[in-house]
A = this chain, B = another copy of it.
Amino acid sequence: MSGKINNSQSYVKYIEVPVPVLGNNIADVERLKAPLLKELKGVDNIFVPTGLAVNLPSKLRKWGNRIKVVLFRDSRGWFVVDLLEPDPDKPLFGLAVDLGTTRIVLRLVNLEISTNISSASCHETAFDNPQVKVAPDVLARIHHAGTEKGRSELQDLVIEGLSNNINILCRKQGVEPKQVVLLTVAGNSAMTHLFLGIESSFLIREPYIPAVNAPEPVTASELGIGINPRGMVYMFPNIGSYFGGDLISGILFAGLNKKENPCIMVDVGTNAEVVVGNRDWLIACAGAAGPALEGGVSDMGMTAKPGVIDTVKIDRETGKVDIHTIDEKSPIGICGSGMIDLAAQLFLSGMVDIRGKFVPSVCGSRYIEVGGEGENRGAFCLVKASESGTGKDILLTQIDMNSLTSSKAAMYSILQVIVEKTAGLEFSELAKFYVAGTFGSFIKPVSAISIGMLPDIPLDRFEVLGNSSLEGASRLLMDPNAFDEIEKIRHGITYIELNVNQEFMNIFSGSKFYPHTDISRFPSVISKC
């Protein structure tokens, strides 16, 4: 666990304090500040909480005027988190936390050695957000948090789950939980509010106002998290109810704020969050894209797990359907990215028309009727009961398809509003198209383009970021300068409210066709049809 001590760019400093002599009455706290300020070039004050003075005199003298100082920052600058024995064999750790609505991911980072993310990433753990027990979705949780009791119940659940999992992760790595002194947490605005026990009701009521955009760091003991009680918990800031810290963390990781040419980052999900810009400007928006994109739309829709269909291919000559399932288990359902694949294949093979309606004559025996009115009574049988893991047909109904059509249209409209109407760019001017979020990492851009969900730009411009929220949180643990970047990102973003955007509604109708009413927008798709 020991390694090269990195004193220059780190929250942990090994400090040599000048020995006190007669004729120099400077107190221990103030004598400690001087060498600390030397380390933090350009900083003119460092806050030392009075509680840390309590035992400082005997500590300094016992440790021969050498001391390990844990530092952190808030909106007012640097402060001392804790003063510890200068023992390099008990290094201090930080934890990056991706605070997801469904899943929480932790990564343990050694704060005392220069390390890179990839080597550190093995020290990770993930667990279901224990708030799922109360309600799976954000809205229901916020309603539940409407009473003080409900609020503290939800907070207790997530804090307790976090503490337990920190404990397990630490033990596995031979680290004591009290060696963890910093937590950087990236979550959406609602999860951040619930985590801090802050009233969240007004997040979801017009005009959608968070209680706080940039919460100041709080101590682990204040939140009851089982690490060093003086340890600090930093929450990534949000810029609105629907644009949270997970996205700010993602922007930091993608480095959008440092690019010369405009790039875009999109977190695709039930809510689509989008930010476009470069080192000079950033524009963001968020909008409902519909649950279809996360597999939450129909009986067969589900999130990724063994047996879930993630890839679909349809031979345009023979109409033969090929599927692939996660872990190659018997198929039990389909995930959002599989559904995008399926829709793309159906459209390219002519099995659905430009309105997204099944064409029974092309579908052949796979077209069945399951009830419903008029055009909506049909369904496409992806897997027959005899071949499925559930013993039932795995169907994509016309209703499911309609829902997917709305979702993909919403996604494209959001992109068009922000890129063309707001930033005044052509899609082709985007140097990079970053896809953030867990769900996004499974989408095949070529399929998403085929259905007109994502713009028709060269495939090599798409880049999957993976868990960008966790990566950004890790970055902050390894580089204190990221603070300034986060502040710059936060203050530099112009947020566009789609709820009040008339343009969005106008564009939305045209986007409901496959791939689009304006087919000149999708030359690569047209060439395949």
Contact = CB atoms under 8 A, between A and B. Distances in A.
A24 B240 CA distance: 9
B497 A196 contact: no
A199 B47 contact: no
B29 A212 contact: yes
Nearest to A50: B215
A215 B74 CA distance: 19
As for how many copies of this chain the complex holds, the number is: 2
A424 interface: no
Given A31-B209, A53-B211, 8 more contacts: A22-B207, A22-B208, A22-B497, A24-B207, A25-B239, A27-B213, A50-B215, A54-B198
Interface in A20-34: 20-31
A206 B54 CA distance: 19
Closest 4 CB pairs of A and B: A25-B240, A27-B210, A29-B212, A22-B207
A49 B25 CA distance: 33
B209 A50 contact: no
**Contact residues of A: prevailing secondary structure:** loop
Contacts of A48: 212, 216
Given A53-B196, A53-B211, A211-B53, A22 B499 contact: yes
Interface in A46-78: 47-51, 53-58, 61, 74-77
B29 A209 contact: no
Nearest to A241: B25
Interface string A34-53: 00000000000101111101
Contacts of A497: 22-23, 25
B29 A213 contact: yes
Contact of A76 (B77, B202, B215): B77
Contact of A30 (B213, B218, B243, B500): B213
A201 B23 CA distance: 18
Contact of A21 (B207, B217, B241, B495): B207
Interface in A179-238: 196-199, 201-202, 206-218, 222, 238
Nearest to A52: B212
Contacts of A214: 30
7 contacts: A23-B207, A28-B202, A28-B209, A29-B211, A50-B196, A55-B199, A57-B201
Nearest to A61: B202
Interface in A342-372: none
Contact of A207 (B20, B75, B217): B20
A417 to B, nearest CB: 15
Given A25-B209, A25-B240, A27-B211, A198 B53 contact: yes
Interface in A221-268: 222, 238-241, 243
Interface in A368-400: none
A208 B208 CA distance: 58
Contacts of A26: 209, 213
B210 A54 contact: no
A56 B209 CA distance: 12
B47 A495 contact: no
A235 to B, nearest CB: 8
B74 A47 contact: yes
Contact of A199 (B57, B196, B208, B212): B57
A118 B234 CA distance: 47
Contacts of A56: 199, 211-212
A57 B199 CA distance: 7
B25 A212 contact: no
A55 B151 CA distance: 11
A25 B216 contact: no
A468 B216 CA distance: 38
A105 to B, nearest CB: 23
A447 to B, nearest CB: 33
A49 to B, nearest CB: 6
A28 B207 contact: no
Contacts of A51: 218, 222
A51 B27 CA distance: 31
Contacts of A21: 207
A178 B109 CA distance: 43
Which of A21, A47, A51, A500 has the most chain B CB atoms closer than 10 A to its own CB?
Answer: A51
